[in-house]
Structure 1
Amino acid sequence: MFNTPLPTVNELPSTRKLVRSTVIALLTAVGLLVTVVMPSEYAIDPTGVGRVLGLTQMGELKIILAQEALADAAPPQAVTPAPAPAPAPAPAPAPQVAQTQHAAIPVAQSASVPTPAKKTNQMTVTLKPGEGTEIKLEVLKNKTVSYQWTAAGGLVNYDTHGEPYNGEKGYFHSYNKGKQVKSDKGEFTAIFDGTHGWFWRNRSNNVVTISLQTSGDYLSVKQ
């Protein structure tokens, strides 16, 4: 056995030193939480330091990967066919009216109200092997967007989905998705106000270039 002398009272740290060390450790932990953990794990960067260090981008990528995993695990959604329109009733026969001569009265033609032109955009993104990216449109509820995209250089996984404004974190609605495909086209009608668009993941060993064309009633493009 080792006979180690016990420290004297004077050698022990005082209460003031212990409190000071505890406060310093607490402040250090809070600083690391705000500047490192929150940006890298949840893409929350209140100080802006995380984006400078590249940690916020890491958190955003983790959220995208989590959305992709949820989209892959979600069961396919059944599409309910639209009900057939009811046949229009036959027009009633015009009543017989005695012909009477009247002076022709000019009728002023009402000016037609022009409808706003639909937006059309063409965008291109390049993905390295294993890389993913998104292109989103701001679309209001019940507005329709037509689209077509092609991938040159390899096959990609994709998910056409939407996220509501101020929605719950991690919630999204998938309109269409696929794995190892080269192109896709169609249209979707927004089921809520929010951002709607596409997420692609390059699962090949080559650089892939995606060309997207959109047309419809949307507010803006987020790329």
Structure 2
Amino acid sequence: MIRSTAIAAAVAAVLLVTVVMPAEYGVDPTGIGRVLGLTEMGEIKAQLAKEASTEAASDAAAGTTRAATASGLPQAIPDTAVPAASPQPAAAAAVAIAKTDEASVTLRPNEGKEIKLSMLKGARVNYSWSTDRGVVNYDTHADRTAAPAIKYHGYAKGQGKASDEGVLVAAFDGMHGWFWRNRTREPVTVTLRTNGDYRELKLME
């Protein structure tokens, strides 16, 4: 009886070393397991077990992160550098300051005189003129002596008027203004008021 037990124990030990350990754990002390192909099987099982353990740990970490997000815990926000605002360029040119003038001319019977403004193309001037008595004929026009010269460019004409007002817009660089003639028998004084974008006001001789 004792002998049978000893034999069984010896056989079990031999099987453990030569079969079970190589097949289950990839451990082959005797080298028989590798000959029988059991060691390779054990190594595959050990590798699969290691991968399963690593995957389980990753899943557990991901679950913890999702739980923290769902519970409203603050998440780390990566620093993002905000580029400094570039300085705005200075205005290309200062806004022109409007000029304001008032000028008067006295016209004897049948006499004509004119006042003109030196203006650049597109410049605008608000104007108004009126007589102290009687009426005059007028011609609002422009000219330019610089090349290419322009002898006459008409804006408006009128007869027997005591006043007029409006906006004069320069059609080109040059002199723009008003000519008045007194066709009455009494002297008439015309007063012109201007406000806008012009360089100078000039009484033409």
Into which bin does the TM-score normalised by the smaller protein fall? 0.5 to 0.7
Contact 1:133-1:199 at 8 Å conserved across structures: yes
The CA distance in 1 between the partners of 2:113 and 2:147, in whole Å, is: 21
What is the 5 A alignment of 1:1-223? Answer: 110=88, 113=91, 114-166=94-146, 171-223=151-203
The structure in which a higher percent of residues are strand is: 2
Tell me which structure has the larger Cα radius of gyration.
Answer: 2
Letter matched to residue 195 of structure 1: M
User: Offset at 1:201?
Assistant: 0.2
- Aligned residues: CA RMSD: 2.7
Q: What are the superposed Cα offsets for residues 121-149 of structure 1, whole Å, 9 maximum, x if unpaired? A: 11111111111101011111111111100
The CA distance in 1 between the partners of 2:194 and 2:174, in whole Å, is: 17
The structure in which a higher percent of residues are helix is: 2
Distance 1:116 1:169, change over 3 A: closer
Aligned residues: 124
Q: What are the superposed Cα offsets for residues 106-133 of structure 1, whole Å, 9 maximum, x if unpaired? A: 8587487441201111111111111110
Contact 1:165-1:193 at 8 Å conserved across structures: no
The alignment's TM-score, normalised by the length of structure 2, stands at: 0.53
Unmatched 5+ stretches in structure 2? 1-78
Contact 2:145-2:151 at 8 Å conserved across structures: no
User: Offset at 1:171?
Assistant: 2.5
Specify the alignment match of 2:24 in structure 1.
Answer: none
Quote the sequence identity (%). 42
Unmatched 5+ stretches in structure 1? 1-100
